[in-house]
Chain A
Amino acid sequence: MSTHTIDPTKWVDKYSDYLFNYTIVRVNDREIANDLISETFLAGLKSMENFKGEASERTWLISILKRKIIDHYRKMNSKKGQAEVHINYRDGENDGDWLEEQVADQFDKTAEDDMENTELGMAILDCLEKINAKHAEIFKMKTIDGVDTEVICKEFDITPSNLWVIIHRARTALAACLEQNWF
């Protein structure tokens, strides 16, 4: 039985930040991430008829995006033959440096941290989707984008007191939502 509905007019407001964070950690380039998200939305529109409603809209969009990201790397790999290899080790005293760099393998730890941070980021966005949309938007502007209180108040036509009440509610809801896995 289908339980989820589809409404493309709300995709950008509801899912763009989630899709963006999902993509940027995988491609590490803002422009490419934007292109992949555009392609995902357009592919989603074209295959809307195939949406059975068994998964949520967001899960369905992520599955399309995953394929887009894989395609992106496939295309990149097909160009690999044209790549140049740069070696910057010099002769003389520094000859042995490369060996030490190989031994001190920093990658695993960094990769592990990055994965955990990504997972945390997605959990935060997931929790924000569950709260009042306007509160979530104000919270993101203030906390993630660092927009000035005055600017947000003007844009939403609210007083600073209103803003702090909204921020308080969003923070309380977010902490409660994250509590089980992250606190």
Chain B
Amino acid sequence: MQEEKKYIDCDKAECCCDKGQYKEADKIEKIQLLEHLAECPRCREYSEKNTRLTELIEKAKLKCCSEEEKECWRKAIEEELKKSHSE
């Protein structure tokens, strides 16, 4: 079995941190990130900001329109534009 690389660089650490915000970092990635953060002040700052960003997004309780809703509006606009062009 291939041994997992123990120390990760900043790019990989940031990627693990991003995945962590979506709870998609696996166990190894979490350990690698923690080890990296212990040594890297720059990534610690990134991690703090990233966590704060997640908190802000959750607080905002944003909602997106569904693709069906968007499609409905697109069609209505398209039809209206066709009508006005044919008049």
Contact = CB atoms under 8 A, between A and B. Distances in A.
A pairs with B: yes
Contact of B49 (A124, A141, A165, A183): A183
A42 B76 contact: yes
A102 B42 CA distance: 51
B62 A144 contact: yes
Contact of A45 (B14, B60, B65, B77): B77
Interface residues of B, number: 31
A121 B61 contact: yes
A56 interface: no
By DSSP majority rule, is chain A's interface helix, strand, loop, or mixed? Answer: helix
A171 B60 contact: no
B73 interface: yes
Interface of B: 14-15, 18-19, 21-22, 24, 49-50, 52-53, 56-57, 59-65, 69-70, 72-74, 76-78, 80-81, 84
30 contacts: A8-B77, A9-B81, A12-B74, A12-B77, A16-B69, A16-B73, A17-B62, A17-B63, A17-B64, A20-B63, A34-B69, A37-B73, A38-B73, A41-B73, A41-B76, A42-B76, A42-B80, A117-B60, A121-B60, A125-B62, A141-B64, A142-B22, A144-B62, A164-B18, A168-B14, A171-B53, A175-B53, A178-B53, A183-B49, A183-B52
